[in-house]
Copies of this chain bind each other. A is one copy, B any other.
Amino acid sequence: MTAQPFHGVLVPVLTPFTANGEPDAGRFVAFCRRLLAQGAGGLAIFGTTSEANSMAPGERMALLDRLVEAGIPAEKLMPGIGACAVTDAVALARHAVGHGCGGVLMLPPFYYKPVSDGGIFAFVSGVIDKVGSPTLRVYLYHIPPVAVVGYSLDLVGRFIKAYPQTVVGLKDSSGDWSNTAALLARYPEFAVFPGSEVFLLDALRNGGAGCITATGNINVSGIAKLYANWRGPQADALQAEVTTVRKAMQAYPMVPALKRVVAHFHGDPGWAAVRPPLLPLDEAQSAALIGDLAKIGFTLGEREQRAA
């Protein structure tokens, strides 16, 4: 197992779109800079929350180019390379490696079902072998509620054994703590990130590396504070606070709801735009969401206000 560079709260960054539906590089760069300033340990751009699969590979690569040109440190970036075709995944991975990204987050191929562990292994190993770079760091992206196809516990072990220098971690968005706990127990040197801050303290107490969480887009300073203080006396109270925000958000479709919150608190209505098949919240949902957040006393925190 090689050293892996990511720890703490990673944010799967929302992708803003222009009024024409094009990726909005200007808003994206500014938002990424702000998240890092607020304490993000890394930016898992181009994940599910980022609507990455609603963008062509070329659109994703152009956004990454803009981030790096703008001076966002590439080692802080873990771009998703999710694709159903080895060809697309290889192009995305080579591009990320070329920029010196700290790692890449890799979905299994998600079109065919059922698909065997052997087939998933052939896909991922095909990408790794074709990229052929000693600096490639792959984080497996396990999100069966959305991708349906996932990485089984045994398959994870097979990757660790076959590619100890390359396959160094996993984002577990199963929503199933027992799976995260099993990964932590079986592969103690492997970097496991639950896909929700609800499990952050439990994960850290069991050897986890942090979390990669959608809600980081609006509450990174709160979650980072928990990460910084997880061994301290306030840890459980801090966990309860971030869990309260997460649960409020989970009552709504997550991606449109997060974008609506950013639009609201930044006074920038255009931020709420999504690409199909996602739809924006309607006005009634938006009002209810903002009301729910007000009830729990949520505003963008002090550090967010300073950075905004």
Contact = CB atoms under 8 A, between A and B. Distances in A.
A156 B4 CA distance: 48
A145 interface: yes
The 7 closest A-B pairs by CB, nearest first: A119-B277, A122-B276, A123-B276, A53-B111, A56-B87, A53-B84, A109-B277
Contact of A123 (B84, B91, B112, B277): B277
Given A56-B91, A86-B54, A277 B145 contact: no
Contacts of A87: 55-56, 59
Q: How many copies does the complex hold?
A: 2
Contacts of A86: 21, 54, 275-276
Contact of A122 (B88, B109, B149, B277): B277
10 contacts: A48-B111, A54-B84, A54-B85, A56-B57, A56-B91, A85-B275, A113-B145, A116-B279, A122-B279, A148-B148
A46 to B, nearest CB: 12
A277 B108 contact: yes
A120 interface: yes
